[in-house]
Amino acid sequence: MKNKNAKLIYAQSSDIKARIYIEYRRDMKKKAIAELEIKDWLQEKLKTLFKREDVKVEKYGGDRFLWFLRGGGITREPDFIAYIGKDSKLLIEFQYADREDLRYYDFKISKVAKKVKGVRIPYKDRIFLYVMKNSCRYAFIEPKWIVENGEIGVVPAWGSRQAYRVPKDIFEKILKKDETLKPVLKMIDAKLMILNFQHQLLDIWEEELSNELQKVIDEEKLVKIIPKTLEGFFKVCFILDHLNKIPENANLWLVYLLSYANTELTLKEISMLVYSLDYIYSKITALGDNELKELEDKIKVLLQTINNYYNEKEGLYKSTIKESPLEETRFALFSINLIEDIIQDAIVYHKAHFQPIVKIYQHVEDPLKVSEALRNEI
């Protein structure tokens, strides 16, 4: 049998839901990176706009603390809320564009206006912040202005859904240049690069396991999965995850898996453990006090161990000579990414005693240096 046919057997055994959910989480993380990085800059701009210091900006909506919803989907609420003094507040929608060659600037109808007796009435309780990434320009826009200067039309990039479309020549007149945006946008780019780079580990693992399974048919070799080793436990979790199956006693699996966590693990071993931890943890609805304490303690151990492997001079991670610095760094970033997800979720659903994650990859010591080192290595 040809390899491609054996590979197809493995592909067909996977439940596409698992892959879709993984991609959904990455997309939501991209959104969260931009929003959390722009928040402080936005607060300072609003202080200037309203000519007062008592302005505080916070995330808003269903993703104000968790950057992706457990059940999937997206929140339709505004991205931020600004408290102006004690008695006034303002909702803020955030949009930004990578491209400068757009013919129209599009705004979702539901975010701009509400329908009252068949007539669309612009919202008065919010504004839009629109940022042009490449030219460091921005604008604060009232919904009324969008309705008056835009027309409802079909947006091909949005699956042919309708939106308010403001022509480029009109829109660009309200944009302002701001050099203070540069470091913010640079950090967003660095973290998006890190996110995409570490996410590739899933494809690597899928290919490796696919090749192992192909050998059963092509070379009549046995595939041994020994659940009493960390690697064996990981493979079981990886396959079950892709089959969209749930362990009958996930809490027991969690305690067993956490027993592997120690300061002697390599970065590859940590990444396998953390993937398994993310899979099992997400299937648990309630944690006992001892289970929660073990989770808290072992996550701290894992984060400290990853941090100890960081080479500040090179901007890369290294734990063993058996792997390249590039792959070692991928293991580290992948692990940090999932650990931060677990931390936020555990705070919300299990009242865990963690410090909240205020920015994505806050456990990466220097994201700018790491992203630059990665670009030099790739």
Model confidence pLDDT, tens digit, residues 320-338: 999 999 999 999 999 999 9
Average pLDDT over residues 19-24: 71
Q: What is the pLDDT of residue 10?
A: 32
The mean pLDDT value of the chain amounts to 89
CA distance 238 to 209: 9
Task: Provide the H-helix boundaries in the chain.
Answer: 3-13, 16-50, 109-112, 143-149, 168-171, 181-218, 230-242, 250-258, 267-281, 289-308, 325-350, 367-377
Quick one: which of 122, 106, 191 has its CA closest to 156?
106
Average pLDDT over residues 139-165: 94
Average pLDDT over residues 95-105: 91
Reply yes or no on whether the pLDDT at 3 is more than 70. no
Q: Taking the model in full, what pTM does it have?
A: 0.88
Q: Which of 8-17, 29-38, 57-66, 110-119 has the lowest mean pLDDT?
A: 8-17
Percent of the chain scored above 90 by pLDDT?
73
pLDDT band at 7 (very low <50, low <70, confident <90, very high): very low
The one-letter amino acid at 169 = D
Quick one: which of 279, 297, 257 has its CA closest to 341?
279
Reply yes or no on whether the pLDDT at 73 is more than 70. no
Reply yes or no on whether the pLDDT at 4 is more than 60. no
Quick one: which of 44, 113, 132 has its CA closest to 82?
44
Helix, strand, or coil (residue 359): coil
DSSP codes of every residue in 36-62: HHHHHHHHHHHHHHHT-S-EEEEE-ST
Q: What is the pLDDT of residue 16?
A: 46
Reply yes or no on whether the pLDDT at 106 is more than 90. yes
Q: What is the pLDDT of residue 14?
A: 39
Helix, strand, or coil (residue 238): helix
Q: For residue 84, count CB atoms less than 10 angstroms from its CB and return exposed for 0-12, middle for 13-18, buried for 19 or more.
A: middle
CA distance 116 to 122: 10
Q: What pLDDT digit, counting tens, does each position of 107-119 carry? A: 999 999 998 988 8
Between these two residues, 83 and 86, which has the higher pLDDT value?
A: 83
